[in-house]
Amino acid sequence: MTAIGSDHAGFEYKEKLKKLLEELGEPYHDFGTMSNASVDYPDYAHAVAESVSNGTYPRGILICGTGIGVSIVANKHKGVRAAVSESVASTLLARQHNDANILCFGERITPWETAAEMVKAFLSTPFEGGERHTRRVEKIHSLTNC
């Protein structure tokens, strides 16, 4: 199950994302926005990130104009590792090495075909684990309340 959300600048891709997730048989919960009317991205990023942080959903996908704003917000939540990606390669590495649990990308800068492949990679790629990667991921949250 995947939590999804966007602001107005990511709304069109979020609607395409819902169709893609349905094709993949991946259940999701849409935290909004529900139109392309101007909204504040933190509202939707907080909702998705909190649902991942509290364990309601194991992962999330956030979309805004660039992916940057929603990732900054999401990473304020305990246990969240939100990665901004613009390529399949960076998405794979975010999952394999960083155990990213929220994928963020931008409708204004990432072609839909690339974004769709990134989503597939995000959903299908496991964390490699192992001593090296696990140690590093544990250090992300060890010195803060995050």
Residues with a known catalytic role: 64, 97
* Cβ 87 vs Cβ 114: under 8 Å: yes
Residue 61 has phi, psi (to 5 degrees) of: -135, 125
Q: What is the DSSP string of the chain?
A: -EEEEE-GGGHHHHHHHHHHHHHHT--EEE----SSS---HHHHHHHHHHHHHTTSSSEEEEEESSSHHHHHHHTTSTT--EEE-SSHHHHHHHHHHH---EEEEETTTS-HHHHHHHHHHHHHPPP--HHHHHHHHHHHHHSS--
